[in-house]
C-alpha cells in the first residue's frame, strides 16, 4: 500500500491546522521554519492520527502506545471524531505530555520502562490499534506537513526533520524534496538501519528520547526512506539543547528538545541547500 498524501490532506483538512511558514535569517543565512509546533496538540502527530481514524471509519474504540506526542494526537483525534481512546505510555513518559493526554479525554495506562514495552502491552488490549509510525496511512497523514511546504515555499529544495520511528521523515520523502533526517547521537535508529541495510535495534539515550526514542525504525518508513534522496544527520544533546534555547532567545519560539534537532543540524552546517526546518513539537515543560 502506497501512502496517499493527497487523499490524507483532503481527509484531515477540517480537523487540523495548516501551520504557517516563517522566513528568517540566522547568522546571515536565510532559513524557512515550518511552525508545526503550533498544530493542535502541539505536534504533527495529530495529522497521522486523524487520517488513520477517518480511513478506518472511526472505530468505536482505539488504542495506542506512545512516548507522549503520538498518544496526545490519538487522544485528541478520538475526541474530535467522537470515539474513545486508551493510551499506553512507559513509566518514563514526561509529566507534561501525560497530563495533556489525560486532559484530552483518553484513558491513560502506564506500563513498562520503554516505548517498546508499552507498545507490546497496548497491542494486547481491545480496540483498533493506531500505529505511531509504521503504517502507510499514518505516514500519509504526516506527509501533509511537507506537502504544505511544497505549496507555500516552492524555492525550498531540502526539508530537515527530526526522526524517531521514521513516520515524519518518510512522509516528507513523499514530497519529492531531499530530506535531511536528523537524529540525536543517542537515538539513531534510522542512521543505524541505513548503515546495516535493514532495521536494527538501537540504543535509546538522549534528552529528546521521549519523542525520538524508538529503538528500531519502522519497516514501512525504512523502505520508503532508503529509496528516497535522504541524508542521515546526527547531532549531540548539547547541540540540540543549545538550538532549542536559541529558538527561544532569537524568535521566542518555545519547542521541545526533539523539535530543535533539525535546527541544530542546520546551525552546524549539516543541512545543505535552500532549507526548511520543521519544528515538529512543543509539548514540554521547561524554563528558558
SS3 string, the chain, reads CCCCHHHHHHHHCCCCCCCCEEEEEECCEEEEEECHHHCHHHECHHHHHHHHHHHCCCCCEEEEECCCHHHHHHHHHHHHHCCEEEEEECCCCCHHHHHHHHHCCCEEEECCCCHHHHHHHHHCCCCEECCCCCCHHHHHHHHHHHHHHHHHCCCCCEEEEECCCCHHHHHHHCCCCEEEEEEECCECHHHHHHHHCCCCCCCECCCCHHHHCCCCCCHHHHHHHHCCCEEEEEECHHHHHHHHHHHHHHHCCCCCHHHHHHHHHHHCCCCCCCEEEECCECCCCCCC
> What's the chain's length in residues?
288
Confidence class for position 2, pLDDT limits 50, 70, 90: confident
Which tens digit of pLDDT belongs to each residue from 6-31? 999 999 999 999 999 999 999 999 99
Which tens digit of pLDDT belongs to each residue from 258-279? 999 999 999 999 999 999 999 9
Which tens digit of pLDDT belongs to each residue from 26-69? 999 999 999 999 999 999 999 999 999 999 999 999 999 988 89
pLDDT (0 to 100) of residue 6: 97
pLDDT (0 to 100) of residue 126: 82
Which tens digit of pLDDT belongs to each residue from 170-215? 999 999 999 999 999 999 999 999 999 999 999 999 999 888 988 8
pLDDT (0 to 100) of residue 3: 85
Residue 281 has pLDDT above 80, yes or no: yes
Cα-based angle 143, 130, 140 (whole degrees, multiple of 5): 15
46: exposed, middle or buried (C-beta count within 10 Å: 0-12, 13-18, 19+)?
buried
pLDDT (0 to 100) of residue 27: 95
Which tens digit of pLDDT belongs to each residue from 95-147? 888 899 999 999 999 999 888 889 999 999 988 999 999 999 999 999 999 99
pLDDT (0 to 100) of residue 229: 94
pLDDT (0 to 100) of residue 276: 98
Amino acid at each position: 500500500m502506497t501512502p496517499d498524501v493527497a487523499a490524507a490532506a483532503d481527509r484531515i483538512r477540517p480537523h487540523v491546522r495548516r501551520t504557517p511558514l516563517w522566513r528568517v535569517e540566522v547568522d546571515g543565512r536565510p532559513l524557512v521554519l515550518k511552525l508545526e509546533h503550533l498544530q493542535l496538540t502541539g505536534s504533527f502527530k495529530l495529522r497521522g492520527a486523524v487520517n488513520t481514524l477517518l480511513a478506518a471509519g472511526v472505530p468505536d474504540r482505539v488504542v495506542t502506545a506512545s512516548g507522549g506526542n503520538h498518544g496526545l494526537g490519538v487522544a485528541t483525534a478520538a475526541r474530535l471524531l467522537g470515539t474513545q481512546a486508551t493510551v499506553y505510555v512507559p513509566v518514563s513518559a514526561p509529566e507534561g505530555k501525560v497530563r495533556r493526554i489525560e486532559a484530552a479525554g483518553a484513558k491513560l495506562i502506564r506500563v513498562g520502562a520503554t516505548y517498546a514495552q508499552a507498545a507490546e502491552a497496548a497491542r494486547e488490549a481491545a480496540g483498533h490499534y493506531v500505529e505511531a509510525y509504521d503504517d502507510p496511512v499514518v505516514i500519509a497523514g504526516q506527509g501533509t506537513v511537507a506537502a504544505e511546504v511544497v505549496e507555500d515555499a516552492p524555492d525550498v529544495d531540502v526539508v530537515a526533520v527530526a526522526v524517531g520511528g521514521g513516520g515524519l521523515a518518510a512522509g516528507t520523502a513523499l514530497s519529492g524534496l531531499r530530506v535531511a533526517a536528523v537524529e540525536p547521537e543517542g537515538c539513531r535508529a534510522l542512521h543505524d538501519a541505513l548503515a546495516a541495510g535493514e532495521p536494527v535495534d538501537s540504543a535509546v539515550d538522549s534528552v529528546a528520547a521521549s519523542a525520538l526514542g524508538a529503538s528500531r525504525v519502522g519497516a514501512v518508513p525504512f523502505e520508503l526512506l532508503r529509496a528516497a534522496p535522504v541524508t542521515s544527520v546526527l547531532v549531540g544533546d548539547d547541540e540540540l539543547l543549545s538550538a532549542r534555547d536559541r529558538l527561544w532567545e532569537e524568535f521566542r519560539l518555545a519547542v521541545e528538545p526533539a523539535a530543535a534537532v533539525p535546527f541544530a543540524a542546520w546551525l552546524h552546517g549539516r543541512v545543505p541547500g535552500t532549507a526548511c526546518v520543521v519544528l515538529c513539537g512543543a509539548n514540554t515543560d521547561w524554563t528558558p
